[in-house]
Structure 1
Amino acid sequence: MANYAKNIMFQGTSSHVGKSVLSAALIRALRDRGFRVAPFKAQNMALNSAVAVEGGEIGRAQAFQAEAAGLKPSVHMNPVLLKPTGDSMSQVIIHGKPVGMMTAAEYHAFKKEALGHVRESYSKLALDYDVIVIEGAGSPAEVNLRENDIANMGMAGAVGSPVVLIGDIDRGGVFASLVGTLELLSMEEREMVKGFIINKFRGDIGLLKPGLDFLEARTGKGVLGVVPSFSGLLIPDEDSVSLDERGASKEGGGLKIAVVKLPRLSNFTDFDPFRGDPGIELSFISSPREMAGAGLVIIPGTKSTIADLMWMKSRGFGPAIREHIEKGGMIAGICGGLQMLGTAVKDPQGVESSAGEAEGFGLVDAVTVLHREKKTFEVSAVARLMGRDYEVRGYEIHMGETIVKGGPFSRILERNGKTCYAPDGAASQDGMVWGTYVHGIFDNDVFRQAVVSALSGGRCGSGTVASFESVRERAIDSLASIFEDSVDMERVLRIIGV
């Protein structure tokens, strides 16, 4: 494998130890030093995805890491994406395009073929950049998954990358996790591990010193740094485990926005912009009673529209949504949420299930027919809200077509850089019910301001939303500063070899 760029790989003792965030922090720190740096994750499992510059689909974490590097996301930054469907199957996406549904056993057998695609993507990036920051997946110590591994030590060995092992002290047992992970690696793999980072620390670091001394004496490997636990930065998560934290309300009251926490929810980062706005109380809800007091209720994207539609109905969301509208509230649907707003969702090919068809909420005159072909586009559009037009940018990721009687919610003017003119979404006549296939629509400050103003009457904080791009950029800079203040960067640079 061609290996022209220098590299470093962050692996973890388990999932959710902070590999993605710390990778982004290092990427920004390296970029600030003048290096051309790119992210890479061979295999990612996530429902939260993004559209790459080539038009394909990759993990949201790699898109965020690309942003930290000042780059457009590419399918080569995440050549293998697995999107679980909830029925012991995953949709396998190679270089941004779906290649089929596989069980765990089927994918395990497919790994040898997947490795070829991984090699191709890494080699391409290695030719174009100075440093590749590689992120592992889960833990390298999953002994049952070691054969044909392409995500952790198998990847590090293939490209000759030094490894830094990350542990999450907030969970407890971090020293056992780090030592135990190292013990389960082969002798050759242990040699690849150049040090540890302890993440999410709270309290007096002086009290941690005996543990750090023990770890270094026991393993012969250094602790590169202890990163403190932090909050309040507008940083996207890849998985829904932290949705309750993401929806923490701001003090002082204001406009309440409720997002339905669907069992198969995807692309929940659509709502991150509201987290940076003054006076917005954002929450993720699981029952109709939690809609009380909300000005806007959003039905988000989902990996299985029909199943999550039935879940909402079983919970009594249907009558609650109609009552919400009668009281002057707004309902919005994004992607799968749009599909649910219509009169029916049809699945004649069994794309999602054998259910065949489900009756929608009937809030807009639209019917959705699911298809096997997935559409992935970066788009520019003009959306119409409350009688005014707004230019918006975003991306589409969906399987199916929604046929609308009457006017659409928006007009797509460009897909993947090519001019087009396509209707998108649907809306009620008064504009208080609307849906779109455009993910990231709330990233557009002017449109988001229009939604907030329509519902708050100027009572939402200062009445002005924050610049999402500026808030996000400041968050990445702050993240890099925290990393550099906590980690011995000179040792990290020596490990990379720059």
Structure 2
Amino acid sequence: MAKALMVLGTSSHVGKSVLSAALCRLLFDCGYRVAPFKAQNMSNNSYVTPDGLEIARAQALQALACGLEPEAAMNPVLLKPSADQTSQVVLMGRPIGSFKAREYHGEISLRLRAAVEEAYRDLEGRFDVVVIEGAGSPAEVNLREVDLANSFALRVSRAKALLVADIDRGGALAAVVGTLELMEPNEREQVEGILINKFRGDLELLRPALDFLERRTGRPVLGVIPYLRGLALPEEDSVSLERREGLGGEGLRVTALKLPRISNHTDLEPLTWEEGVSLRYAEDPSELDEVDLLVIPGSKSTVEDLRWLRERGFEEAIKGLRGRGTFILGICGGFQMLGETIEDPHGVESPLRTERGLGLLRARTVFERSKVTRRVRARTLSLWGIEEEVEGYEVHMGRTEVEEGHRPFRLTRLGDEEVDLPEGAVSEDGLVLGTYIHGLFELDGFRKAFLREVARRRGKAFNPSGSKYRERVSRSLREIAAAVASSIDLQLLGDILGLSLENPYRSTPSSP
């Protein structure tokens, strides 16, 4: 039976996902077979497993840290918000319906407990250690009776838990004490230690506070994790989106629309690591000045976001950019918006049966009841003379019909099946491109060739760096694992778990 280590947080965005990935990698590098687990995740950033099932992007990253392909058991319940109080519920990789928050927490979540426990037992029987990520805070007393990700996961796994607080936001001591106070006694007993995350300062000045925490809570502070910069790790939530500056000056300026229900914004993460490329997110048309590449990303509610786009005045601004020679790329929902019409005959997403698109691509989308989730591989097809492979995955509810002769890609593989099928759409002048392929910028060859062509047509210089995105992600996982290993009491962690742990990165310089 596997050892279980659970990472709880005093609130959302304290760093649970990244620290869980770091601990996964650390334990993996210590020689153990490790698997990640999050009973329930709420995120519109998802990923597709090799067998075509959908899970949260965070658990896919954690699987990578463990040297594994992701699988549905690692995230049995995924909630994908489509409105303020409505989410699509994905169970073991397949959607089972969309529910209001009160309906989900009132009955649905209780019915999912058996599947969550079965998924955990599956991992428990195949690995040495399961690293469990909690959700939000375990002190949400109003949700305790229907909880899946914290109280229920603690009870099922009997895990040894660490409580994480983000000191960079302030109030970390009060958050730790308050969280422990509000936990049920049996849950509190499972918390074996405290981690202070995102610290930047003089550790000696902090020590009196750490001593206070240990006296007040009766639990050791296992370590203080430094605030780490420059990690190429995809962010899980859109709350993390911010303006990202590259070299500026004559560099390529990429702007993405920050849609209210944006999904899979991690598609653009590889662009942020290219020298000479700046990426920012726009919520107002006034922010679309001097754009070389405009991206309309995915959306969990395409029609509603298209209507928002129109109401904010983006439609005129986008068409103006196209007239001035700006490249426009739509991914998934963004692809659907760029077409002539979006039809929803079954009311899958909206009560509106037909919505006019932006009309920049000769394409027509029809929403269907079934959801497409699959890994794909493709090659470029007469796209500006670029001949490169593209690799990624599809997650969408619609089917898009495109006029012949306006296809940028040719699919060569769907899952394990070799195919020869057209994909995406491109305008006659090559300025507007739409595709369902998430992750298309992860392969270095296509990303660099695409940006080089954008630069050429925009009359700018662009010299691609030698960076390799997937290698950078892997290196970042090792770097954060090494930082955690040098910042915590590894022997104490080993004693808590009943494992022999030594720092496997002793040759790596310690983080300050």
Report the TM-score when normalising by structure 1: 0.96
How big is each residue's C-alpha offset from its partner over 1:52-91, in whole Å with a ceiling of 9 and x where there is no partner? 1221110010011111111111111000001111141111
> 5 Å matches for 1:224-373?
224-244=222-242, 247-373=244-370
| 1:477 corresponding residue in structure 2 | 478
Q: Name the CA distance, whole Å, in 2 between partners of 1:486 and 1:290.
A: 41
| 1:406 corresponding residue in structure 2 | 404
| 2:9 corresponding residue in structure 1 | 12
- Match status 1:86 vs 2:83: yes
- Match status 1:390 vs 2:391: no
In structure 2, give the amino acid aligned to 1:214.
F
Q: Name the CA distance, whole Å, in 2 between partners of 1:463 and 1:152.
A: 44
Deviation at 1:319, TM superposition (A): 2.2
Identify the range of structure 1 (17-26 vs 354-363) with the bigger mean alpha-carbon deviation. 354-363
Identify the match of residue 215 of structure 1 among 200, 213, 216: 213
| 2:378 corresponding residue in structure 1 | 381
Secondary structure of the residue aligned to 2:230 is coil
Q: Name the CA distance, whole Å, in 2 between partners of 1:474 and 1:443.
A: 15
CA contact (8 A) 1:277 1:465 kept: no
CA contact (8 A) 1:5 1:127 kept: yes
In structure 2, give the amino acid aligned to 1:429.
E
| 2:494 corresponding residue in structure 1 | 493
Identify the range of structure 1 (398-407 vs 263-272) with the bigger mean alpha-carbon deviation. 398-407
Q: Name the CA distance, whole Å, in 2 between partners of 1:227 and 1:452.
A: 36
Deviation at 1:251, TM superposition (A): 4.7
| 1:429 corresponding residue in structure 2 | 428
CA contact (8 A) 1:92 1:99 kept: yes
| 2:171 corresponding residue in structure 1 | 173
Q: Name the CA distance, whole Å, in 1 between partners of 2:130 and 2:464.
A: 42
How big is each residue's C-alpha offset from its partner over 1:22-53, in whole Å with a ceiling of 9 and x where there is no partner? 00011111111111111100010111110112
How big is each residue's C-alpha offset from its partner over 1:297-345, in whole Å with a ceiling of 9 and x where there is no partner? 1100001111111111222222222222222221110000100111111
Q: Name the CA distance, whole Å, in 2 between partners of 1:399 and 1:158.
A: 34
Deviation at 1:15, TM superposition (A): 0.7
Secondary structure of the residue aligned to 1:73 is coil
| 2:438 corresponding residue in structure 1 | 439
Secondary structure of the residue aligned to 2:319 is helix
Identify the range of structure 1 (235-244 vs 420-429) with the bigger mean alpha-carbon deviation. 420-429
> 5 Å matches for 1:63-82?
63-82=60-79
> 5 Å matches for 1:177-192?
177-192=175-190
> 5 Å matches for 1:105-120?
105-108=102-105, 109-120=107-118
Q: Name the CA distance, whole Å, in 2 between partners of 1:294 and 1:487.
A: 45
In structure 2, give the amino acid aligned to 1:466.
S
Deviation at 1:249, TM superposition (A): 3.6
Q: Name the CA distance, whole Å, in 2 between partners of 1:264 and 1:223.
A: 38
In structure 2, give the amino acid aligned to 1:265.
I
Q: Name the CA distance, whole Å, in 1 between partners of 2:129 and 2:327.
A: 47
How big is each residue's C-alpha offset from its partner over 1:397-429, in whole Å with a ceiling of 9 and x where there is no partner? 000110111232222221121223332211012
Deviation at 1:275, TM superposition (A): 1.2
| 1:202 corresponding residue in structure 2 | 200
Q: Which structure 1 segments of 5+ residues have no match?
A: none
Identify the range of structure 1 (384-393 vs 120-129) with the bigger mean alpha-carbon deviation. 384-393
How big is each residue's C-alpha offset from its partner over 1:204-227, in whole Å with a ceiling of 9 and x where there is no partner? 111111111111001110000111
Consecutive aligned runs of 4 or more in structure 1 exceeding 6 Å deviation? none
Secondary structure of the residue aligned to 2:345 is coil
Q: Name the CA distance, whole Å, in 2 between partners of 1:327 and 1:112.
A: 54
Secondary structure of the residue aligned to 1:421 is strand
How big is each residue's C-alpha offset from its partner over 1:410-450, in whole Å with a ceiling of 9 and x where there is no partner? 22221121223332211012221110000000112111111
Identify the match of residue 57 of structure 1 among 54, 60, 64: 54
CA contact (8 A) 2:251 2:278 kept: yes
Secondary structure of the residue aligned to 1:263 is coil
Q: Which structure 2 segments of 5+ residues have no match?
A: 500-512
How big is each residue's C-alpha offset from its partner over 1:127-150, in whole Å with a ceiling of 9 and x where there is no partner? 221111000011111111111422
In structure 2, give the amino acid aligned to 1:117.
A
Q: Name the CA distance, whole Å, in 2 between partners of 1:66 and 1:460.
A: 38
CA contact (8 A) 2:245 2:277 kept: no
Q: Name the CA distance, whole Å, in 2 between partners of 1:360 and 1:495.
A: 57
Identity %: 48
| 2:467 corresponding residue in structure 1 | 466
- Give the 3 Å change call, closer, same or farther, for CA 459–233 of structure 1 in structure 2: farther
Deviation at 1:390, TM superposition (A): 2.3
Identify the range of structure 1 (331-340 vs 25-34) with the bigger mean alpha-carbon deviation. 25-34
- Match status 1:132 vs 2:130: yes
